[in-house]
Amino acid sequence: MLTTALLAAACDASPHTAVVLDNDYPLSTTLPLVVYHASWQAVAFADPVPPGTSSAPQATVPASANTAYVVLAPGWDPTGSTPPTSFVVLQSVAGFGVDYDDTLHIPVDDTTFVGNCATGNPLSQAQADFITQRIFPCDFGALHYDAATCTTTPLADAGEVCDAGPL
């Protein structure tokens, strides 16, 4: 019995490399900035992360400085049944890396990410197009995102929109 417990403990002691998304935007009753989707390296965060909370750890591999991307859903209630009506696309100012057997925390706020028009720091249209078309094509397949105003408009000829989530 003791041998089985020791073997189980030894198996559980394996290294774990992970990444966690921390929504460091302040709690707000008027317009909470909910992380709708995010992506870093080969890790997709598909579950919403309300302000002041963190995602569940996602397994990853060690990596050097890689850009993180975020889609905010301002004012959206992730516990409700209504989908978001607006988005803000963000890109990290610097890359994030993680060492073997460590956990990376990516703080999402207006000091570590650029793109929030409300702070006067929008993305270029080329950056926004890359993020909406390459990183989150399923979220923006039927929408055009205007980086200068952080607004979305429906595309008349959007065609079929995927439903596979981000990435």
Q: Which residue has the tokens 């397949």?
A: 141
pLDDT of residue 146: 98
Instruction: Specify the pLDDT at position 158.
Output: 55
Amino acid 159: pLDDT = 58
Confidence of residue 6 (pLDDT cuts 50, 70, 90): very low
**28 pLDDT more than 90:** no
Task: Report pLDDT for 152.
Answer: 94
Q: Considering the entire predicted model, what is its pTM? A: 0.87
Q: Residue 166 — very low, low, confident or very high, per pLDDT cuts 50/70/90?
A: very low
Summarize the confidence of residues 23-51 as an average pLDDT.
Answer: 94
| Contact indicator for 45, 167 with CB cutoff of 8 Å | no
pLDDT digits (tens, 9 = 90+) for 97-123: 999 999 999 999 999 999 999 999 999
Q: Which two tokens stand for residue 120?
A: 């006067």
Tens digits of residue pLDDT in 45-83: 999 999 999 999 999 999 999 999 999 999 999 999 999
Is the Cβ–Cβ distance between 153 and 144 less than 8 Å? yes
Paired tokens of 63: 């990596």
The rounded mean pLDDT for the chain is: 89
CB 128 within 8 A of CB 115: yes
Domain ranges for the chain: 14-154
| CB neighbour class for 19 (10 Å; exposed up to 12, middle 13-18, buried from 19) | buried
pLDDT over 70 percentage in the chain: 86
Per-residue b or e along 143-166, where b marks 16 or more CB atoms closer than 10 Å to that residue's CB = eebebeebebeeeeeeeeeeeeeb
Query: Which residues does 124 contact at the CB level (< 8 Å), separation at least 6?
Result: 147
The confidence score (pLDDT) of residue 14 equals 78
> Quick one: average pLDDT of 28-46?
93
114 Cβ contact partners less than 8 Å away, ≥ 6 residues apart: 90, 91, 92, 93, 121, 122, 123
